A = this chain, B = another copy of it.
């Protein structure tokens, strides 16, 4: 592809926005035409990202949807839920492609949106149209998507950990217990003592128990894979590292399958995937190996003693769990090498 795709990043001042910009700056097929932020308006990208942006002339602007619309063809929205749709609607109307990293278009059911986000959804039709930005599962749908709803970090790690098992119908759909450990950057860049160094270092805690907002999104996708209603228990935890997510899932086996069978199932399912690595039985996923990449490590272990199966996945919550995955979806959308800009 000789031509550069013109992109803009809207709401670029949070951790996800920063990571997105770091990746897009080096992406061989994009030209960043605008970066917007209310808070950072007037500041150079270099003042935020540091020397990695020293050759970039980009400056944050405070632009409305109308003002920014003409500047690019593809818009990455790194905005809070609720705000994202305020940009997505006019941009789509103007014929643009939208890659949304918020929760606004992930749920198919407007009722669930209302229940978990306490607001009426502003554009229920788009819930139907949007494509879930998980390339490993929605590659063909992504190729023509106008609106890509990128999954968050918890859904990505849970879904990719379970997909092969559920697709084969090998798990009891009401037996799935998910525990997730998240680096603190998952909470965003907030001036809140809750996320201060002194409160989070040397500390562990669960939160949003038992009804984290990502549960319906996870269950929607797991149910789609299983072809039946899946109900999970999901417990997120804050652990003292900046980036990284480890998800441990335990479920009851339906039917029979030994470790060798599980291993083969997972390796076959993800064969050819550039960013999913199925580990052998000698290793378990570690976040260290995937930090600052779009990779996710997955492992499966059969526990003959209990008749349960354990699933593990490790990713960077800002990488495969957010920014780089959005770029991967963008690559798929525009027929680029899926790895373009993502192997640095």
Contact = CB atoms under 8 A, between A and B. Distances in A.
Interface of A: 15, 26, 47, 49-52, 54-55, 174, 177, 179, 181, 184-185, 189-193, 195-207, 209-211, 231-233, 235, 237, 239-246, 248, 250, 274-275, 277, 283-293, 295, 297, 301, 303, 305-306, 308, 310, 312, 314, 343-344
Q: Which of A204, A241, A274, A312 has the most CB of B within 10 A?
A: A204
Given A202-B291, A235-B248, A292-B292, A305 B210 contact: yes
Contacts of A308: 177, 210, 233
24 contacts: A26-B344, A50-B295, A51-B289, A52-B343, A54-B277, A181-B204, A181-B239, A184-B201, A191-B196, A196-B197, A199-B288, A202-B202, A202-B243, A202-B244, A202-B287, A204-B245, A204-B286, A205-B246, A206-B248, A206-B285, A209-B312, A231-B306, A233-B303, A233-B308
A181 B237 contact: yes
A153 B330 CA distance: 39
Contact of A185 (B47, B198, B303): B198
B184 A306 contact: no
Given A206-B246, A233-B310, A344-B344, A197 B201 contact: yes
A292 B52 CA distance: 10
B295 A198 contact: no
Given A50-B286, A235-B310, 10 more contacts: A47-B283, A174-B306, A184-B198, A195-B197, A202-B287, A202-B288, A204-B287, A206-B284, A210-B301, A232-B306
A289 to B, nearest CB: 3
> Which has the most chain B C-beta neighbours within 10 Å: A192, A193, A206, A240?
A206
| Copies of this chain | 4
Contacts of A284: 205-207, 209
A246 B297 CA distance: 24
Contacts of A312: 206, 209
A101 to B, nearest CB: 18
A241 B26 contact: no
A50 B343 CA distance: 13
Chain B CB within 10 A, most for which of A190, A233, A246: A233
Contact of A242 (B54, B197, B297): B197
Q: Which 4 A-B pairs have the closest CB atoms?
A: A50-B289, A344-B344, A51-B295, A210-B303
Contact of A51 (B185, B189, B293): B293
Given A239-B181, A291-B202, A233 B297 contact: no
A203 B241 contact: yes
A245 to B, nearest CB: 8
